[in-house]
Chains A and B, each alone.
Chain A
Amino acid sequence: MRPKRIAAAALAAGILSAGLALAQDKDSTSRQIERYREALADGNPAELWEARGESLWKEKRGPKAASLERCDLGLGPGVVKGAYTVLPKYFADTGKVEDLESRLVTCMVALQGFTPEQAKKDPFGGPGKKVPMDALVAYIASESRGMPMHVSIANPKEREAYELGRQIFFYRGGPHDFACASCHGAEGKRIRLQDLPNLTNPADARRAYTTWPAYRVSQGEVRSMQWRLNDCFRQQRFPELEFTSPASIALSLYLARTAEGGVMDAPAIKR
């Protein structure tokens, strides 16, 4: 029996060292991606969106020729500093839980006189297509840089949205029988070379949530949280997540709440 046991031990040691080598490879890949991000962070083109967003915020636009400077983003009319850290939240004037994008739509309608359809028409930019929404989002998020996330679930509507968001996160469906949790509900998952955050774990959720919106180098665009969720739904082959829909806001609130205390560092830069 003795030689067998030695062989088994050797085999186990072999597996162990192979495992270690694999772990080291994976670490160095992650490290290289980290270095790539650091190198890019110095010249983050999101700054161009922030500058455009700031002038859009102050520009008189729409049928009422009004600016957004009196828009209440959750901390009172016109307060931009820190507003991103409390969103999504319940707003008494609309009786709804709203995230940044839906709140901007509300303000564009109420203050500037756009129709909801006009305000929601071009939610995401593309090649040769500059849209106001992602620039405004970049500017407003940048004004919360260095501040901790702190969303409320004290209001019954907020509580309801949080629970709904959590259910959506774990809901399996579509032709691939997928849920958000399939990729983001366990440790050590990857897509190609990218480590995927486990969004049920607060440390990962903080790191992920606080770096959106972000400039995507591969797309040359600043992408908002609404875009991120919309594209996750596309990747899952779910029905399209409608821009500023209650489902998208609920999911965002669930993620924001899990990231509670995470320090905002957006717009970040991503591959």
Chain B
Amino acid sequence: MADPMKIRATVVGDKVEVKVLMAHEMETGQRKDSKGAIVPAWFIQNVTATVNGKTVLSAEWGPAVAKNPFLSFRFAGAKAGDKVVITWTDNHGDKRSDEATIAA
């Protein structure tokens, strides 16, 4: 099981700013270990953010995203107290979902 994400969501003007830190190795599949064997690719493929059951962000990621990724975005149409749910799925099928309450 992957480590929890760190999510901060705050109201900025008429929008909500979300900042997410995810714990993930994000192996590219290009790297070799000390014995010369290729370290298999292992990376987050899909990221979604939903608020009140509505998707506000959907992204497809590849191996070019760095280890322990940081994602920051803004969206309209939510207020303080609403919950933002972030979910990622990696190429191993592993999944992680965390939520945060939007702060004023």
Contact = CB atoms under 8 A, between A and B. Distances in A.
Interface of A: 42-45, 47-48, 51-52, 127-128, 217, 220
Given A42-B19, A43-B19, A48 B25 contact: no
Q: Which of the four size classes fits the interface of chain B?
A: 10 to 19
A213 to B, nearest CB: 15
B3 A51 contact: yes
Nearest to B68: A45
Q: State the main secondary structure of chain A at its contact with B.
A: loop
18 contacts: A42-B72, A43-B19, A43-B21, A45-B23, A45-B70, A47-B6, A47-B21, A48-B3, A48-B6, A48-B68, A51-B6, A127-B25, A127-B31, A127-B39, A128-B25, A128-B39, A217-B66, A220-B66
Among all A-B residue pairs, the 8 with the closest Cβ atoms: A43-B70, A45-B68, A220-B67, A48-B23, A47-B6, A47-B21, A45-B21, A48-B21
Contacts of B25: 127-128
Interface string B1-32: 00110100000000000010101010000010
Interface string B53-80: 0000000000000111010100000000
A117 to B, nearest CB: 23
Contacts of B3: 48, 51-52
Contacts of B66: 217, 220
A128 B26 CA distance: 10
Contacts of A127: 25, 31, 39
